[in-house]
Amino acid sequence: MNNVLDIQTKNQSSPETTKQCPHCKENIPIAASKCSHCGSDLRAWFNRHPFLTTILAIIVFAFVIGIIGNTTNQSNNSSSSNQINNTSETNLNPTPATSTAPNSSTAKSRPPESKAIGLTPEQQAAFVDAANHMNQIQADAKAAENNTQTIDSVYQAHVTNSAPTPTWHTVQTFTGSGGTNTASFTIQGSQWQVKWTATGDNSNSYCQQNGCYFIVIPFYVNGDSADGYIDSEVYTTTSDVSYFYKPGQYYLNIPAGNITNWTITVLDYY
C-alpha cells in the first residue's frame, strides 16, 4: 500500500514540463508560445491576429446593433398602430360585460411568441443566423487548433491552394578518404541535414583502442562557422544524421584521421 502511495505521489509531483512542436516535432517548454527550433508561432489565431479579431468584433457588433435598432423601431410603430386600432374598436364595439371562452379558431390565430418580445419571425431568424455564424467561426478556429493547424494554413490550403508541402531534397553527395574541404552548396529551407557514413582503419592500433576521429564542420562561404558540427569516434563503420537550421551558402570542412572512406549526403527541407 505504501508503494502505491509513493508511486501516486511521484506521478502527482512530476507534471509534464515539455510538449512537442506540431511543425518540427522537437520538444519545447509546455508554456512556450513560439518554437525555439523552427520559429513557429504556437499561439491561438485570435492572439496572433489582434487587428483582424478587432475588425471582426466591430463588424458583428455593428450588425447586431443594427438589427436591434430596426427591431425597436418596428416594435414601436407596431405598438402605436395596435393601440390606435384597439381604441377605435373599443369605441365602435364595446366589450360585453360577460366574457365567453375563445373558440378553436381564436386560439389558432393568436400571434407567435416572437411578437410578445417585439421581434418578427424574420428578425428572430436574422439573430439566429448571426449567432450561428459567430459560433461557426469559433468552431472552425478551435478545430484548426485541435488538429495542430493554424488558421493561416487552412486559408492557404483552401483559398490559394498553391503552397506545396515541404519535403527533403538531396542537395549534393560527397565522398573521400581523408581530410578535405567540399565544394560549396546552397541551402534555401529553414532546416537541413547531413547524413554520413565513415569507416575507420582497423589496422591502426590507436583506432582499435580509441576510435578514429571523424569531424564535419559546416562553414559559410564568407568564412563564418555555422551553428553546430559533427564530432564522432569511428571504430569500424559508423552512420548518423545531424541537423542544422539556417539557410545560406555553405561548404564542409572535414578533418578525418585514419578514416579509410566516408560518404556525406546533404539534404534540404523546403
Q: What is the pLDDT along the chain (270 residues), one digit of tens a residue?
A: 555 455 555 555 556 788 888 888 888 898 888 888 888 888 877 777 777 888 888 888 888 887 777 666 666 665 555 554 555 454 444 444 444 444 444 344 444 444 445 567 777 777 788 778 778 888 877 776 766 556 666 666 665 556 678 999 999 999 998 889 999 999 999 999 999 999 988 788 878 788 888 999 999 999 888 888 998 888 889 999 999 999 999 999 998 888 989 999 999 999
What local confidence, expressed as pLDDT, does residue 79 receive? 58
What local confidence, expressed as pLDDT, does residue 218 receive? 95
The strand pairing partners of 253, in sequence order, are: 181, 217
Per-residue pLDDT of 201-242, as tens digits, reads 878 887 878 888 899 999 999 988 888 899 888 888 999 999
What local confidence, expressed as pLDDT, does residue 265 receive? 98
CATH number attached to the domain at 168-269: 2.60.120.380
What local confidence, expressed as pLDDT, does residue 139 receive? 82
What local confidence, expressed as pLDDT, does residue 143 receive? 75
What local confidence, expressed as pLDDT, does residue 55 receive? 85
Q: Do 214 and 250 form a contact (C-beta atoms < 8 A)?
A: no
What local confidence, expressed as pLDDT, does residue 264 receive? 97
